[in-house]
């Protein structure tokens, strides 16, 4: 399921390349800098990552765009999640809340923090290391029972669980 998380990361990376502004952090403040710098970058090929219908891709893109308005994520965080299954700084709440926002807007997570493994499989279907991931729902089921009280932390731990499982299984 790490691949599912990888898919989240790759989708987020694609979005970041095309829409995300760079950020600088000072304490807990996140400040937007020049948004146009990222608009000139090219996509990483989201359509090659997802095998689900165009509507799932569009839904995910739309959710990422909407969440980007509130939660900005540095590219290095997304690359780290993609490669290792975790963010480089697990004390930073902004990327965790971005994940929560995307999961809620796509229907993977409810507003009360419960996860839908079947919906996860629809939204994050794809391949990892060239191998189709046919068991995303099973992996998501194993990661869905979260106890974290913070919804952002819970969403991150769900994605982290899926990504780490996927990495172990498919790489």
pLDDT at 21: 35
pLDDT at 9: 43
Query: CATH topology for 2-170?
Result: Recoverin; domain 1 (1.10.238)
For the ranges 22-31, 55-64, 84-93, 111-120, the lowest mean pLDDT is seen at: 22-31
- Quote the mean pLDDT of the chain: 74
pLDDT tens digits along 117-129:
999 999 888 878 8
CA atoms of 19 and 139, how far apart (whole Å): 30
pLDDT at 110: 95
pLDDT at 82 over 90: no
Domains of the chain, by residue range, sit at: 2-170
pLDDT at 167 over 70: yes
CA atoms of 114 and 145, how far apart (whole Å): 8
State whether the Cα torsion 66-156-39-130 is positive or negative: negative
pLDDT tens digits along 5-59:
444 444 444 433 333 333 333 333 333 333 333 333 323 333 333 334 456 678 8
The residues, ordered by sequence, that sit 6+ positions from 163 with a Cβ below 8 Å of its Cβ are 1, 2, 3, 4, 5, 6, 8, 9, 81, 82, 85, 86
């Amino acid at each position: 399921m790490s691949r599912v998380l990888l898919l989240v990361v790759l989708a987020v990376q694609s979005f970041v390349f095309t829409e995300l502004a760079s950020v600088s952090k000072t304490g807990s403040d996140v400040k937007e800098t020049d948004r146009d710098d990222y608009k000139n970058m090219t996509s990483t090929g989201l359509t090659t990552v997802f095998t689900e219908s165009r509507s799932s891709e569009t839904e995910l893109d739309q959710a990422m765009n909407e969440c980007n308005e509130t939660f900005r994520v540095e590219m290095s965080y997304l690359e780290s999640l993609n490669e290792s299954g975790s963010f480089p700084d697990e004390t930073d709440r902004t990327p965790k809340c971005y994940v929560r926002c995307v999961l809620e807007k796509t229907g993977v997570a409810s507003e009360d923090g419960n996860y839908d493994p079947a919906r996860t499989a629809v939204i994050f279907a794809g391949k990892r290391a060239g191998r189709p991931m046919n068991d995303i729902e099973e992996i998501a089921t194993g990661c869905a029972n979260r106890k974290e009280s913070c919804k952002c932390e819970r969403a991150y731990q769900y994605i982290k669980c899926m990504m780490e499982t996927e990495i172990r299984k498919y790489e």
